[in-house]
Amino acid sequence: MSSDAISERASILLKTLVQRHIRDGQPVGSRTLMEEAGLPVSAATVRNVMSDLEERGFLISPHTSAGRIPTAMGYRLFVDSMLQVQPLQQEAMSVLRNELHPDKSSAELVQSASTLLASITAQAGLVTVPRQEAGQLRQVEFLPLSGDRVLVILVINEREVQNRIIHTQRPFTEEQLREAANMVNQRFAGHPLQNVQAQILHEMEEARSQIDGYMQAALDLANKALDQDAPEEEYLVAGESRLLDNATAEEMLKLRELFDAFEQKKDLLHLLERCSQGQGVQVFIGEEAGYEVFGDYSVVTAPYSDGAHTLGVLGVIGPTRMAYDRVIPIVDVTARMLSSALAK
């Protein structure tokens, strides 16, 4: 809804009320609002305007309080039409540059991004783990361990290294594992990860009667190396405790439900999946997220990439009264810097 849906006076009063509520989290009374807005109008006029805004769904009177607070609809109008985004402070820019360094692995960069978002915004920061299928297999090594165990070293996108342990049906010598790795690297290096296992399974099935035991063993090793369950943490959350710092008593009760949602993951993952399909910064206020647990919270997200593919989403979760003017540019710049680091 655009700002011309309400009068200029109502717009000024709503903006002032939202800013005041963001600062202290308390209902705002008409006299306080009149003094802070600096308009040459009476308290009665302010009360009339606030009543009209409440009737139209922009404000609500909590309990028996004489003051009012913004609804999700009021915050949406504020964010879309009244918000003046603040430039990112130089200190924050320096921290982001130092921590989101291209020499780090993608796992380290993701962890750094979630921690940085939490520390800079004083909200909960989250980053989805990069989707494996976006990477390319660069090299694989097999090293023998005791018994029927083999250490697999996967090099993905030239820089990221993953170590896995697989169990085989029989022991292999170091030489046999080296030859198997050479065969896999010759045939599949440079191929997208999501295609490699499909190719391996196809060759194992189509050529089972034609290939020798050595090739069959090599393909089986490669299949086991890539046939890993999805990581338990599809996204990383940092700074949950920061949401407790400035929470009101009522907000504390709601936080329990939000923390449960972090643990359950399902609703948040669905929301983040929607965000990954968008462009640039997206702001979900309260029930806009589509889930009841986020009713008193806002989620500010932006996708990140490696320059060619969208790898995931990062963002911030906090109360609807978060400082959007600060949070939005922080999320935007962090996504851009993470993308830049992953592209190198």
Q: Where are the domains of the chain?
A: 3-82, 90-129+232-343, 133-226
Tell me the C-alpha to C-alpha distance, in Å, between residue 201 and each of 75, 133, 216, 220. 52, 17, 11, 9
**Cα gap 252→43, rounded to integer Å:** 33
Identity of the amino acid at 143 = L
Class of domain 3-82: mainly alpha
Number of other residues whose CB lies within 10 A of the CB of residue 262: 16
pTM of the model: 0.71
Cβ atoms 50, 11 nearer than 8 A: no
Binned at pLDDT 50, 70 and 90, residue 235 comes out as confident
Q: How confident is the model at residue 1 (pLDDT cuts 50, 70, 90)?
A: very low
| Tokens describing residue 126 | 């989250």
Residue type, 123: Q
Count of H-run helices and E-run strands, the chain = 13, 10
Residue type, 338: L
Is residue 112 within 8 A of residue 100, CB to CB? The reply is yes
H or E stretch including 126? Answer: strand 124-128
Name which residue leads in pLDDT, 221 or 79.
79
Domains 3-82 and 90-129+232-343 share a fold: no
Question: pLDDT of 286-337, one tens digit each?
Answer: 888 877 778 888 999 999 988 878 888 999 999 899 999 999 999 999 999 9
Average pLDDT over residues 100-126: 90
Residue 162: Cβ-neighbour burial (10 angstroms; 0-12, 13-18, 19+): middle
Reduced to 3 states (helix: H, G, I; strand: E, B; else coil), residue 198 is helix
Element (H, E) at 312: strand 310-319
Helix (H) or strand (E) run with residue 335 in it: helix 324-343
Give residue 284's pLDDT band: very low, low, confident or very high (50, 70, 90): very high
Task: For 242-280, write each residue's pLDDT tens digit.
Answer: 888 767 777 777 887 788 777 767 677 777 777 777 788
90-129+232-343: CATH topology: Beta-Lactamase (3.30.450)
Any idea which fold 133-226 has?
Enolase-like; domain 1 (3.30.390)
**Region 40-54: what's the mean pLDDT?**
91
